[in-house]
Amino acid sequence: MVNVLYFAWVRERIGLPKEQVETTAATVADLVSELKEREERYALAFSDLTALRVAVDQELTDFDAPLSGVREVAFFPPMTGG
Amino acid sequence: MQIVVQEQPFDVGDRLNQFSASRTDMGAVVSFTGIVRQVDGKLSDMMIEHYPGMTEKALTSIAEDAVSRWSLGDVLVVHRYGLLAPGEVIMMVATMSRHRADAFAAADFLMDYLKSRAPFWKKERTADGNAWVAAKDEDEDALNRWQTP
């Protein structure tokens, strides 16, 4: 079980900020593939991965990152701080 | 190092004065303040979303990086989230060092990294509709300035 968080337009497109996902995905990319198969809104949100960033346990990483032992995965657009 | 993430407004002058007065062995303080910018009179407000938990970690890690690269007495970062009106202060950074060069460079570095490595997202609400502020390519390019060869 992993907590999946969505921010900014990813959250709006998927329609929720956070959910628990039962998954055996080995990597973030595998998790994305599972989510995309669920429903159209997920497929839309994840249609262009170059427009997305991912954090695993609150550290910025990439889509190849392994999910073993991970508690939290977050998807969001490029950040605009400052 | 002081990292503050909060919804409420803050007084930049008070923060800066406290920061500057905290050491007597530092001869230079540099600060930057980011303000919600009005555009053609159309912006009604800006909603800033962030990732509680990761935000504090990311800001701390960026500030630690600055401390390891330059000789700094201290670093202050204050960043707001929530609903902000044009003219309101979004955030500030301040750095102090014995001489000005380190404080200037570190403040510049902090801002470049804050822009694209701190988990904040801005949504502008205007007369023409609402839109997420897109990251700019030059923000990403700006980070290359700091890559050590």
Q: What are the residue ranges in chain A where pLDDT is below 50?
A: none
* DSSP-based three-state secondary structure for A49: helix
- Within-domain flag for A26: yes
Q: Is residue B89 over pLDDT 70?
A: yes
Q: How far does A51 lie from chain B, in Å, by closest CA?
A: 10
Residue A6 inside a domain? The answer is yes
pLDDT at residue B25 greater than cutoff 80: yes
* pLDDT at residue B39 is higher than 90: no
In a domain, A27, yes or no: yes
Q: In whole angstroms, what is the distance from residue B90 CA to residue B121 CA?
A: 12
Query: Which of B61, B108, B120, B138 is best to mutate for the A interface (most A CBs within 10 A)?
Result: B120
Please state the rounded mean pLDDT for residues B34-63.
Answer: 96
| Residue A82 domain flag | no
| Boundaries of every domain in chain B | 2-133
Contact criterion met (CB < 8 Å) for B134 and A78: yes
Q: Test B120 with A74 for CB contact under 8 angstroms.
A: no
How far from B22 is each of A32, B5, B6, B79, B94, CA to CA, in Å? 48, 20, 22, 20, 12
What local confidence, expressed as pLDDT, does residue B56 receive?
98
- With H, G, I as helix, E, B as strand and everything else as coil, classify residue B138: helix
Query: What CATH number is attached to the domain comprising A37?
Result: 3.10.20.30
B116 and A79: CB-CB below 8 Å? yes
Range of the domain at A24: 2-76
Total domains in the fold of chain A = 1
Q: Closest approach of chain B CAs to the CA of A37, in angstroms? A: 26
CATH 3.90.1170.40 is held by the domain B2-133: yes
**Residue pair B36/B46 in contact by the 8 Å Cβ criterion:** yes
Q: Closest to A80 (Cβ–Cβ): which among B54, B58, B122?
A: B122
Which residues lie across from B89 on neighbouring strands? B35
CB atoms within 10 A of CB B35: 14
User: What is the interface pTM, i.e. ipTM, of the complex?
Assistant: 0.95
Asked if B115 and A7 come within 8 Å (Cβ–Cβ), the reply is no
Find the CB nearest B34 among A5, A76, A82: A82
